[in-house]
Homo-oligomer: A and B are copies of this chain.
Amino acid sequence: MQLETATIKTIADTIGLSLTTVSRVLNGVAKKYRISKATEERVLAEADRLGYIPNQAARNLRLKKSFAIGLVIPNLANPFFANIVSVVNQVLHERGYSVILTDCNEEEKLEIEAVNALSARNMDGMIVIPSGRGKKHLELLRQKRTPVVFIDRYFEDLAIPYVATNHYDGALKITEYLIANGHRKIACLQGSNHVMPNIKRVQGYIDAMKGHGHDPFYIGGNGFTFESGYLETKLLMQRSERPTAILALSDTILLGSLKALAEDGYRVPEDISIATFDNSVYLDFLACPVTSVSQPVTDIATIAIKLLLDKIEQQSTSGLTEQEKILISPAIIYRSSIASIP
């Protein structure tokens, strides 16, 4: 077997035709250029025999198109993001695109580097879940006319489409459910306080409380992490006035919170009720299964890709329409972690 990789030239030489003809056949435009059936078949047969695979770098250079989509996400170790990547990846591959991934570890510096690196690789489009609050590198993409879509996290003042859960709505509903169950002292353990999902969720919590005539009881924490949930819960339970319920704004926060509660001997839901976001699969199997806001991951990913591919294929230069700001209302999955209190 030949060690040399076959190129269009290899094929052209072995069957004595020009590069042009071979290229046209392989691109399926033989008819358009009146290439005879016989020639077409000879080319195809030879390409097959040599195991020809077109060099993408050459195509990319010539066509200024990479057939690749860049994916920039905060942290793959978080199952919620991993799920999004999984779905996005699958759909894009079906559509013939490669996926170039970067995990930014929630650091803005890495995010900027990633966006620039992807830009150098001529991405046909990008899907970004921003880690930081900086926008300059993202605006530069618009100048370069690279289509971008945000998932989950977004900037409202940027003319870049986004698809996300209606975080506000989810938080509002689940807080109202807690209130309906008699809770007043509901503590909210938040994530990174500069990202949109967190801002909206906190606002939902606040509005639900106020809407029912209560002041927000407590808002603390500063990251979508296990550690933040753990520390914040420890602090929380040492206050003179303890909460009757905790609303964790992510599953990672929840696990930390549960660990703190368990260490201090609090039982769920007897001693304290708890609710969370994200609805990871293991919530059903915890000591006490936890009620959760369930984000429609598959829908979000699918819609985002549709938006992106539309932009890529039409290159519509029109401004941002309302249809490109999409929020999907989440469902709430009821489990046994919330007790009714008088």
Contacts and interface: CB of A to CB of B under 8 A. Distances in A.
Interface of A: 1, 3, 5, 53-58, 60-61, 66, 68, 71, 75-77, 79, 82-83, 85-86, 89-90, 93, 98-103, 105, 110, 113-114, 116-122, 143-144, 226, 255, 258-259, 262, 280-282, 284-288
Interface of A is mostly: helix
A77 B86 contact: yes
What 9 pairs between A and B have smallest CB-CB spacing? A57-B60, A82-B82, A76-B86, A101-B101, A57-B61, A282-B282, A89-B103, A53-B120, A287-B287
Given A89-B76, A102-B99, A287-B287, A57 B122 contact: yes
A226 B281 CA distance: 10
A89 B116 contact: no
Given A5-B144, A77-B82, 13 more contacts: A56-B122, A68-B100, A71-B101, A85-B103, A86-B103, A89-B101, A89-B102, A90-B103, A93-B114, A258-B285, A262-B285, A285-B286, A286-B287
A92 to B, nearest CB: 10
A99 B118 CA distance: 10
Contacts of A114: 93
B120 A54 contact: yes
Given A89-B101, A282-B282, A119 B53 contact: yes
B76 A82 contact: yes
A256 B19 CA distance: 57
Given A57-B122, A121-B56, A281-B255, A110 B93 contact: yes
B82 A98 contact: no
A3 B101 contact: no
A305 B90 CA distance: 25
A250 to B, nearest CB: 13
A116 B76 CA distance: 25
Contacts of A61: 55, 57-58, 61
7 contacts: A3-B144, A5-B144, A77-B79, A79-B82, A90-B103, A255-B285, A285-B287
Contacts of A57: 57-58, 60-61, 66, 121-122
Nearest to A113: B93
A220 to B, nearest CB: 21
Contact of A83 (B77, B89, B284, B286): B77
